[in-house]
Amino acid sequence: MLNSLRQIVQEVNSAPDLNAVLEIIVRRVKAAMNADVCSVFLRNQSNVYVLMATDGLHQNAVGKVSLSKEEGLVGYVATREEPINIDDAESHVKFQYFPETGEERFSSFLGAPIIHHRQVLGVLVVQQTQKRRFDEGDEAFLVTMSAQLAGVIAHAEATGALRGIGQKKEARFTGVAGASGVAIGRCVVSSPLADLYSVPYQTCEDVERELDFFQNCLSDVREDVKNLGEELENRLNKEERILFDAYLAMLDDKSLGGEVREKIRAGLSAQYSWSQVILEHVSTFNSMSDPYLRERASDVRDLGSRVLAALQQASSANKREYPDNTILVGEDLTASVLAEVPQGKLAGIVSLRGSSNSHIAILARSMGIPTVMGAVDLPFTHLDGHELIVDGYRGAVFADPSDAMREQYQEIVDEDKLLVAGLESLKDLPCETTDKHRVALWVNTGLKADAIISIERGAEGVGLYRTEVPFMLRDRFPSEEEQRAVYREQLEAFAPHTVTMRTLDIGGDKSLPYFPITEDNPFLGWRGIRVTLDHPEIFLSQVRAMLKASEGLGNLRIMLPMISNVAELEIAQMLIYRAYDELLEEGFSVQMPPIGVMVEVPAAVYQAKEFAARVDFLSVGSNDLTQYLLAVDRNNARVADLYHSLHPAVLRALKKVVDDSHSEGISVSICGELAGDPSAALLLVAMGFDVLSMSAANLLKVKSVIRAVSLEQAEKILDEVMAFPDAESINRCLEGTFREAGLTRLLRPDTDG
Ligand code: PEP
Ligand code: MG
């Protein structure tokens, strides 16, 4: 059973479109379950379940038979959202007869709902002429099958939606809101080198030239493989030598090369043709029952990547052109990919992976680039060059929009510009409540450009400088001197205001291309301070660079990420003192900066007092604290609905950290994304946070809200929400308050898209 399940899923995964997916499902499931009929019904936009494919019923019923949720056994399965197993279907009250299917011949019925992200997409049914009670094993098989197929069907439906574009309506894809705002522009697909799965669909203009280009690259790789085989000849065993010969044979004209040439002749680009041919072969090998042959899939993939890399490197098309208003789309975007887009050209970002608190989304927010994360079903390789609308408020992407939709979104873009311009006047006004309670509004930085926007918007300091960002944009660790120069720029830009530099915080979803960390559970693994304490040479050179950079300015604070126990703090402090003493001995006139701890893990909440007694300030990293308190991976779009920044447990933890810090007489800030949320900011002020640090894009919105209320009002709202049992009620209460105060525009614009 497991084998046929795996094989069916493999086959389905590589099917070119929704029809092919459904055809494979009905044919293969019918055979695997030894049934007389297998059919798939899918829900359409009018919420009706339409027969989309069948093996066993009359083919002319396909597309014609449809049932509402209230009709027939299919509707019954969809309503109950659980499998229904009946040995005498005709006698069931819900049975409904459709003459066009020839259904009267079938007595037994087993149906399972196809559910994706809690939505019933359709129903998978098997039937039998004889009275047959499908047994528990059959039922379990069908349920497993439909659970596995749901994602593939959703994806194929999404791709199908794209094919219909230009005809009636734009295709809509959903994800998670990553950075607010709306962008309208042209899609540029970002495909990492040698990644067969992300090659954009592109045609070629000159077939003969493309064929020559392909031929040349292929000959180069053949030559390389041949040379490598000869070099290693004496070190290879017989089987390995055979593998090299097999590689060479595969590159032959009569094999893969020939298939690719056919596709190029049909007008496709060499890169796309090559990736498609390889993926077809990989999937054929993968679906083989012989384990040895199945293993060969990885050989084909290896070879495929090697040739693809050669094609990409040799192709002038690979030197990407970025149009004005580029919408960058990719499976897993990185800081360095964003940095490749020339300044001023990047309008929007869509990432298939990640969620709203992934670091790429945070970076996008700080750049003010509307972003959608976790758009898992986006058929991105088919979107290169298409016009896209990115709705970063709702987490939606529209491909090839109609004129009406473009106009509707253009209005929002214009309104947003007006809103930002309207807030400019607040730039030099103090951030204080109507009863003169002063709060410091600082910014989070990382990129060079952040400093300029931050100062323009009136930032009074930096609450979090993410030092890992300059590390990510290099291809090796920066030297102490290189770091010093970067840090100096940051400190000088803000002097005399404070700049809080966090020591290197890698791991989790932040990896350095030259220092990969591969773990099963990266957010609970080797990240933040754990990495740098294991590598004191990296830590010391970073701290030395920070101290040297602060010479003569005196506006540096050092902050330690992911501290989960006192020992980590004490060792880090000891290393900072060591760096400081060394520099004094070397003749630098540096000052010992204030040192702070980030409160990012639940343990730190309960030990806030102990930490506060040992340092100069605490700063809450609410992005991580929320994920660890709620056990919700901040990088996983599938659980994004559970990532409640205003969960009562989070609010109570925040309040405790503020009280414990103040009882030890030290200042406390918050530098997670929560601080930049205008409605949350009210609560944070009422709790007593001394500093709110956020991306510059949110600074003036937050200031305008704080200046519109009194501390007393904010405290009243806080008292009210602290008594609520869940995040939904808290959000509703805050929305109500904002509506009454006429501040809704600061939260997000209304769209009915
Ligand atoms: C946080 O966790 O809230 C934080 C500010 O750090 P980062 O988002 O960089 O992990
Ligand atoms: Mg963090």
pLDDT of residue 452: 85
pTM for the structure as a whole? 0.84
| Ligand 1 centroid – CA 389 distance (Å) | 29
Percent of the chain beyond pLDDT 70?
A: 96
Mean confidence (pLDDT) of the chain:
90
How many Cα atoms sit within 13 Å of 65 on the Cβ side?
A: 25
Q: Is the pLDDT of residue 745 over 70?
A: no
SS3 label, residue 277? helix
Q: Which position among 155, 359, 386, 647 bears the catalytic label?
A: 359
Q: Is the pLDDT of residue 103 over 70?
A: no
Q: Is the CB of 362 under 6 A from ligand 1?
A: yes
How many Cα atoms sit within 13 Å of 92 on the Cβ side?
A: 21
Nearest residue (by CA) to ligand 1, atom 3, is 621
Q: Is the CB of 703 under 6 A from ligand 1?
A: no
Q: Which of 151-155, 236-240, 667-671 has the highest mean pLDDT?
A: 667-671
User: How many of the other CB atoms lie within 10 Å of CB of 737?
Assistant: 19
- Which one, of 312, 331, 301, lies nearest residue 202 by Cα? 312
What domains can you pick out in the chain, each with its CATH number?
2-165 (3.30.450.40), 171-191+331-419 (3.50.30.10), 196-315 (1.10.274.10), 432-746 (3.20.20.60)
Q: Is the pLDDT of residue 408 over 70?
A: yes
Ligand 1 pocket mutation, candidates 630, 671, 677, 684, criterion most atoms within 8 A of CB:
671
pLDDT of residue 746: 66
Nearest residue (by CA) to ligand 1, atom 6, is 621
Q: Which position among 38, 204, 217, 671 bears the catalytic label?
A: 671
Question: Per DSSP, which regions of 523-673 are E strands?
Answer: 556-560, 595-599, 617-620, 667-670
Nearest residue (by CA) to ligand 1, atom 1, is 621
Those residues whose C-beta lies under 8 Å from the C-beta of residue 302, and which sit 6 or more positions away, are: none
Q: Is the CB of 621 under 6 A from ligand 1?
A: yes
pLDDT of residue 466: 96
Ligand 1 pocket mutation, candidates 357, 523, 560, 598, criterion most atoms within 8 A of CB:
598
pLDDT of residue 489: 95
pLDDT of residue 21: 87
How does pLDDT run across 186-204, given as a tens digit for each residue? 999 998 888 998 899 989 9
- Annotation says 359 is catalytic: yes
| Ligand 2 centroid – CA 627 distance (Å) | 10
Q: Is the CB of 600 under 6 A from ligand 1?
A: yes
pLDDT of residue 355: 94
Atom of ligand 1 nearest to the CA of 508: 10
Q: Is the CB of 360 under 6 A from ligand 1?
A: no
Residue 45 binned pLDDT confidence (cut-offs 50, 70, 90): confident
Report which of residues 74 and 739 the model is more confident about.
Answer: 74
pLDDT of residue 185: 97
| Ligand 1 centroid – CA 550 distance (Å) | 24
Q: Is the CB of 468 under 6 A from ligand 1?
A: no
pLDDT of residue 167: 45
Q: Is the CB of 601 under 6 A from ligand 1?
A: no
Q: Is the pLDDT of residue 752 over 70?
A: no
pLDDT of residue 193: 85
Do the Cβ atoms of 472 and 336 come closer than 8 Å? Answer: yes
Average pLDDT over residues 483-503: 97
DSSP assignments along 62-116, one per residue: TTT-EE-TTSHHHHHHHHHTS-EEES-GGGSTT----GGGTGGG--EEEEEEEEE
Residue 281 to residue 287: CA distance in whole angstroms = 10
Q: Is the CB of 671 under 6 A from ligand 1?
A: yes
